[in-house]
Amino acid sequence: MKIDVLLGLQWGDEGKGKIVDVLTPQYDIIARFQGGPNAGHTLQIDGDKHVLHTIPSGIFHPEKINIIGNGVIADPYILSQELAKLVAKGVNPLVNLRISKRAHLILPTHRMLDAAYEQALGAGKIGSTLKGIGPCYTDKTARYGLRFGDILASDFTEKYNSLKNRHLNILKSYNFDHNIQLIDKIPFDEYEKKWFEAVSELRAFPLIDSELYINKALAEGKTILAEGAQGSLLDVDFGSYPFVTSSNTIAAGVCSGLGVPPSAIGKVFGVFKAYCTRVGSGPFPTELADATGELLRDNGKEFGSTTGRPRRCGWLDLPALRYAIMLNGVTDLVMMKSDVMNDFDTINICTGYEVNGQITQDLTYETLSNPVMPIYESLPGWKKSLSGISDYNLVPENLKLYTDFIEKDAGLPIKILSVGPGREETILK
């Protein structure tokens, strides 16, 4: 069997979590392949909202195995909190969650370093989620990192102290006193204690060689969905660098993040919002710093699932979407949140940009490093509620005009249309 992939085509928060949950019945295994607790994937099941950060979004289906892959980095404390919240809702993750021994650990000092680096950048800060993502992936590539497999070793505390001391020396050079700074409003020593308690708890979990598990499952004909975090425009290679995350968020990340060959990739579901959002700093060509932007934020409840920060909002950007489709080899488009624009008279779509007096239809290095003027096409709004629609034939004509316009430009069909946060508010085309 092939492994299907689901990932974000914009700057994250496209609604990946909801669609993974909706598609999970079609798969045996759901596996996260990159990122860490910078992610916030929201599921709304029977009106109950649940946000996942490290755990795959198939976890509410007890008969489906959920894997935290080797490409993921996890903070044991945040993970243990996530587990506790699931247990409180009657889910027993011990039954269907597996963690790769090769997944790296986010230490409390990684979070301190993240804060110190952001503070030093001042106005030029990345707008990191302050979960320690950049520093942890840095240690991974610098070959200092600690992995889940290490928590089983008798010298784990020594290894931890050695890495911690390395971090404390760096923090000193930034004049960053870890004894004064808080993590999630908790003093360092207390957080570190909770972190070690969480590590002890996780020793009881099935820690596996996930690459062996996944390849064996594929050979046995099992179906697997790889769940992405963040979005293609936050990819460390192709995103709006340096305002990106520290992992490969694109489909290529599935191969290194789960240990599967490129030939094993099947469908690629590319999830995008009917407009655009971004949280944190960095270029955003179609951003609306006006009343329309505020309306998108209010209607779409565009506040970060992980940090609560207001998300920046703007019109759909087709050159950026085409770029993401190209990078990922998307086969199936999934459009989210068109319901947010139900009341709009007119909807703009960006079809190109003017950069340094030149017109381009491509998202190039220059378009992400210079001020750009988006070029818009205007379409009429549908001015109707989408509530209760489950058949694409019953969708308002002007929404069909909108989806047709996007499909023609993208050269791909929109296979799923999401018209509300709930599982059931999903139209399969």
Q: Report, as residue numbers or ranges, the catalytic residues.
A: 13, 41
Contact 149, 102 (CB under 8 A): yes
Is residue 420 close enough to count as binding ligand GDP by CB under 6 A? yes
- Least distance to ligand GDP, CB of residue 57, Å: 7
| Full DSSP string of 118-184 | HHHHGGG-----SSSHHHHHHHHHHT---BGGGGGSTTHHHHHHHHHHHHHHHHHHTT--TTT-EET
Of 212-231, which residues contact ligand IMO (CB under 6 A)? 229-231
Is residue 38 close enough to count as binding ligand IMO by CB under 6 A? yes
Is residue 319 close enough to count as binding ligand IMO by CB under 6 A? no
- Least distance to Mg ion, CB of residue 282, Å: 16
From ligand IMO, Mg ion, ligand GDP, none, interface partner of 126 (C-beta below 5 to 8 A by class): ligand IMO
Sign of CA dihedral 204, 208, 213, 214: positive
DSSP H helices in 300-355: 318-328
Distance CA 136, CA 332 (A): 33
> Of these, 340, 347, 399, 427, which contacts ligand GDP (CB under 6 A)?
340
> Of these, 77, 117, 337, 348, which contacts ligand GDP (CB under 6 A)?
337
Sole window of 137-145, 184-192, 342-350, 413-421 interacting with ligand GDP (rule: CB under 6 A) = 413-421
Is residue 40 close enough to count as binding ligand IMO by CB under 6 A? yes
Nearer to ligand GDP, 189 or 343 (CB): 343
Question: What number of other Cβ atoms are within 10 A of residue 399's Cβ?
Answer: 25
Q: Which helix (H) or strand (E) holds 52?
A: strand 48-52
Contact 93, 346 (CB under 8 A): no
Sole window of 12-20, 26-34, 141-149, 265-273 interacting with Mg ion (rule: CB under 5 A) = 12-20
Distance CA 318, CA 415 (A): 18
Displacement of CA 265 from its chain's centroid (Å): 19
Of 27-86, which residues contact Mg ion (CB under 5 A)? 40
Nearer to Mg ion, 14 or 114 (CB): 14
From Mg ion, ligand IMO, ligand GDP, none, interface partner of 77 (C-beta below 5 to 8 A by class): none
Is residue 13 close enough to count as binding Mg ion by CB under 5 A? yes
Nearer to ligand GDP, 6 or 198 (CB): 6
* Torsions phi, psi for 358 (to 5 deg): -105, 145
Contact 68, 283 (CB under 8 A): no
From ligand GDP, Mg ion, ligand IMO, none, interface partner of 44 (C-beta below 5 to 8 A by class): ligand GDP
Displacement of CA 288 from its chain's centroid (Å): 23
Residue 128 burial class via C-beta count within 10 angstroms: exposed 0-12, middle 13-18, buried 19 and up: buried
For residue 100, list its beta bridge partners: 208
Sole window of 38-46, 218-226, 325-333, 381-389 interacting with ligand IMO (rule: CB under 6 A) = 38-46
Q: What is the DSSP letter of 264?
A: G
Of 295-314, which residues contact ligand GDP (CB under 6 A)? 300-301, 305
Distances (CA, A) of 14 to 7, 193, 322, 333, 401: 9, 35, 16, 12, 21
Distance CA 7, CA 11 (A): 11
Nearer to Mg ion, 52 or 217 (CB): 52
Distance CA 251, CA 329 (A): 8
- One symbol per residue from 231 to 270: x for binding ligand IMO (CB under 6 A), - otherwise; what is it? x--x--------x-x-------------------------
Contact 10, 328 (CB under 8 A): no
Distance CA 55, CA 354 (A): 41
Is residue 283 close enough to count as binding ligand IMO by CB under 6 A? no
Tokens of 356: 């340094």
- Least distance to ligand GDP, CB of residue 194, Å: 25
Could you list the residues that contact Mg ion (CB under 5 A)? 13, 40, 305
Binding site for ligand IMO (CB under 6 A): 8, 11-13, 35, 38-41, 126-129, 131, 133-134, 229-231, 234, 243, 245, 279-280, 305
What does the binding site for ligand GDP look like in residue numbers (CB under 6 A)? 8, 12-18, 39-42, 44, 300-301, 305, 336-337, 339-340, 418-421
